[in-house]
């Protein structure tokens, strides 16, 4: 049943509204990471490494180059871990459009629902972003300490987070925040399994950028299936 939900979402991937959300999410993510790197370079320049001196040694001429190249390497490594969480969080601002596209195509007889306000969407997005970044940073420590469990930690944690977020997006439109939370509690295992299915493509470069869209569409189908609508 969960696989059927996923295949329905996959079949609608060419929908123009899906593509629009994808490109907006990628563009904003790149802009955010670029802005962060610019801020990091500004901080390095503010430290004024060219005039840095050590006792006995004197002025350290190469420190500026070291920090500049080091900041670039740091940003590349950081992007590898943050690209997907940041893209997922930013894209979640626009997932209401994805859910509406799914309902228009597969559930056309449903009554219209009011759009989630921008402020509510922004609040949920920032909360989701904070949880994703913190969880992935903690998970990275566990990968180092428990390498033999790294695969299970990765899929289990991201499956839980993705399932929780995308089911909330899908259900909240028609059930409200409290109603969506109640449904999530009753069907937590099915939602977690579906989230783990979404987490599998996270390990595939470029394909992983599709996860927010596929997740929102899959969980919209899942919501309507378990709600009996």
Average pLDDT over residues 166-192: 88
Half-sphere exposure of 149 (CA within 13 A, CB side): 10
> Is 6 a member of any domain?
yes
> Is 177 a member of any domain?
yes
> Is 197 a member of any domain?
yes
Cα–chain center distance at 57? 47
**pTM of the predicted model as reported, rounded to 2 decimal places:** 0.73
Instruction: Assign 53 to helix, strand or coil.
Output: strand
User: pLDDT, tens digit, for every residue of 190-207?
Assistant: 999 998 888 887 767 667
The answer to whether the CB of 98 falls within 8 A of the CB of 214 is no
> Is 140 a member of any domain?
yes
**Lookup: tokens for 58:** 């004197």
Helical residues (DSSP H) of 47-145, grouped into ranges: 63-91, 95-106, 118-145
For residues 5 and 220, what is the distance between their CA atoms, to the nearest angstrom? 8
Spatial neighbors of 215 by CB under 8 A, at least 6 apart, are: 162, 165, 166, 195, 198
> Is 59 a member of any domain?
no
∠ CA 173-167-27, nearest 5°, is 85
Indicate the DSSP class of residue 187: T
> Is 75 a member of any domain?
no
Closest to 79 (Cα-Cα) out of 40, 131, 33, 44: 33
- Residue 100: Cβ-neighbour burial (10 angstroms; 0-12, 13-18, 19+): middle
> Is 217 a member of any domain?
yes
Average pLDDT, the chain: 76
Which pLDDT belongs to residue 62? Answer: 44
Residues facing residue 54 across a β-bridge: 58
Average pLDDT over residues 30-40: 70
Residue 169's domain spans which residues? 2-18+83-227
Is a pLDDT exceeding 50 seen at residue 91? yes
> Is 42 a member of any domain?
no
User: pLDDT, tens digit, for every residue of 92-150?
Assistant: 677 788 888 999 999 998 888 877 776 776 777 777 777 877 887 788 888 888 888 88
Which pLDDT belongs to residue 54? Answer: 43
Instruction: Assign 113 to helix, strand or coil.
Output: coil
Q: How many domains does the chain have?
A: 1
């Amino acid at each position: 049943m969960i696989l059927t939900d996923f295949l329905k979402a996959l079949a609608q991937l060419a929908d123009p509204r899906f593509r629009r959300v994808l490109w907006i999410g990628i563009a904003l993510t790149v802009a955010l990471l670029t802005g962060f790197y610019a801020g990091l370079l500004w901080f390095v320049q503010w430290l004024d490494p060219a005039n840095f001196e050590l006792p006995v040694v004197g002025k350290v001429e190469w420190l500026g180059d070291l920090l500049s190249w080091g900041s670039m390497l740091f940003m590349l490594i950081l992007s590898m871990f943050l690209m997907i969480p940041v893209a997922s969080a930013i894209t979640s601002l626009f997932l209401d459009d994805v859910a509406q596209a799914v309902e228009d195509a597969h559930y056309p007889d449903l009554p219209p629902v009011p759009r989630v306000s921008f402020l509510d969407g922004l609040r949920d997005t920032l909360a989701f972003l904070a949880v994703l970044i913190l969880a992935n940073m903690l998970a990275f420590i566990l990968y180092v300490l428990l390498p033999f469990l790294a695969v299970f930690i990765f899929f289990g944690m991201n499956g839980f987070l993705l399932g929780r977020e995308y089911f909330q997006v899908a259900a909240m439109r028609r059930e409200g925040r409290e109603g969506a939370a109640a449904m999530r509690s009753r069907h937590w295992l099915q939602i977690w399994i579906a989230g783990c299915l979404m987490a599998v493509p996270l390990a595939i470069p470029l394909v992983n950028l599709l996860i927010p869209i596929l997740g929102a569409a899959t969980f919209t189908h899942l919501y309507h299936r378990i709600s009996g609508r």
